[in-house]
Amino acid sequence: MLSTAPASQEHLDVAPTEVSMVFSDAVLDLGATILIVDTAGTDWAAGDVRIDGSSVSQGVTGDLADGRYQVRWRVVSADGHPISGTFDFALGEVSAAVPAASASPSSTPALQAATDSDAGRNAVTGPPFILIGLGGAVAGFLIFVLILTLRKRPTT
């Protein structure tokens, strides 16, 4: 991510009408999610996430009260890999409390912990690869048994 508005750790006097981010590469329109969460766990995001090339933005609902907010985002980069992260900003008079993830279930998809790196992107792990490998091994075994069975049959 190249930049955010509001900037990370920025202290605003006036509530933003939207939050936005600019990435180094284009972002795909595949399940992008942006939450704007206050210290009570309330999500203030309004409407759909808007994607324009490498820019992503999300409207803010209502008038934000003074306090601290955390923007939790998840997008899919042009290479098809999901990336996610967080950044914080404050509005008006604020206390020392830091936004915390809500402990109650939400209808909004949960976001993973912040990460904006390529670490682990090329790792070949996880259930899909294991299942494909097991399927290939079973198919190979069945072909082997079939060949052995056909070779042992007497010819008439």
Break the chain into its structural domains and give their ranges: 3-91, 124-156
CA distances from 143 to 137, 152, 153 (A): 10, 14, 16
Identity of the amino acid at 78: A
Taking the C-alpha atoms of residue 22 and residue 51, their distance in angstroms, rounded to an integer, is 10
31-35, 75-79, 100-104, 129-133: least confident range: 100-104
CATH code for the part of the protein at 3-91: 2.60.40.1220
pLDDT digits (tens, 9 = 90+) for 65-99: 999 999 999 999 998 899 999 999 999 988 655 54
Q: Given this model, what pLDDT does residue 103 score? A: 41
Over range 95-121, report the average pLDDT: 43
Per-residue DSSP letters for 92-125? Answer: SS--S------SS--SSPP-PSPB-S-TTTT---
pLDDT, tens only, 45-57: 999 999 999 999 9
Q: Are 67 and 38 in contact (CB under 8 A)?
A: yes
Q: What is the pLDDT of residue 151?
A: 79
For the chain, what is the mean pLDDT? 81
